[in-house]
Chains A and B, each alone.
Chain A
Amino acid sequence: GDSVTQTEGLVTLTEGLPVMLNCTYQTAYSTFLFWYVQHLNEAPKLLLKSSTDNKRTEHQGFHATLHKSSSSFHLQKSSAQLSDSALYYCALRGTQVVGQLTFGSGTRLQVYA
């Protein structure tokens, strides 16, 4: 079946430094990849989505590029802000099971001043 791997459970860094959160996936089918962000006591919100190989997608200062050759969809930002502190989920729609998203285990990003 489909799977999503987020290797870091917690990423801590100082404000102004670059952010990179890893996401790799496995699926035998066509893919849609998503990044969701969840701030404390709030609903997860869609941050980025992509289904196009090697095309950079950007939103709210974050960007990611889907690389089907390496099955990756890493989330990046050039300069972290305190308000970026949140839980980030990578998710896959592999189209094998209609309607189902497979989520990674999540990465908590903590940005310090």
Chain B
Amino acid sequence: GGIITQTPKFLIGQEGQKLTLKCQQNFNHDTMYWYRQDSGKGLRLIYYSITENDLQKGDLSEGYDASREKKSSFSLTVTSAQKNEMAVFLCASSPGTDQAPLFGEGTRLSVL
């Protein structure tokens, strides 16, 4: 079976720091997603990619960059971490855009 691996599992950063989160999947899925999870706000889409080197902005893309250099990997960069920010970033993938995505376990971000 396949797996979605997110690294690191925990990330502590400083205000203003640039932080990169990584996601790898071995399902050979075409589409990959980055969601942000905040308590009481559900999952909000940051970026998604329907194929290698493709990038599409979600509703929450401001303050983030993404990169899909290989089909199996999708990186997310927080361009300038905000003080006291705490959230979980979830990576997901799906075979195509019309199938329900599978999720990784998340990266938990805390900014001091």
> How far apart are A36's CB and chain B's nearest CB, in angstroms?
8
In the assembled complex, which residues on chain B have CB atoms less than 8 Å from the CB atom of A4? 42
Cβ-defined contact, A44 with B43, below 8 A: yes
**Nearest CB of chain B from residue A79's CB, rounded to whole Å:** 26
- Which of B13-21, B62-70, B71-79, B101-109 contacts its partner? B101-109
Question: Which residues does chain B contribute within 8 Å of A43, judged by CB atoms?
Answer: 4, 90, 102-106
- Indicate with 1 or 0, residue by residue over A65-91, a CB within 8 angstroms of chain B CB atoms: 000000000000000000000000101
Q: Taking the complex as formed, is B40 at the interface, i.e. its CB lies under 8 A from any CB of chain A?
A: yes
- Interface segment, one of A11-19, A55-63, A92-100: A92-100
* Given A42-B105, A43-B90, also A99-B97 (CB < 8 A): yes
A4 to B45: give the CA distance in the assembly, Å: 14
B31 (CB) vs chain A CBs: closest residue: A99
* Contact of B40 (CB < 8 Å), options: A9, A45, A89: A9
CB of B22 closer than 8 Å to a CB of A: no
Contact A44 B103 (CB under 8 A): yes
Minimal Cβ-Cβ distance residue in B for A44: B103
Report A-chain residues with C-beta under 8 Å of the C-beta of B45.
100-101
Q: Chain B residues in contact with chain A, CB under 8 A?
A: 4, 31, 33, 35, 40-45, 48, 50, 56, 58, 90, 97-98, 100-106
Extra contacts besides A49-B100, A101-B43 (17): CB < 8 Å: A32-B100, A41-B105, A43-B4, A43-B90, A43-B102, A43-B104, A43-B106, A44-B103, A46-B100, A46-B102, A91-B43, A93-B98, A99-B56, A100-B48, A101-B100, A104-B42, A105-B42
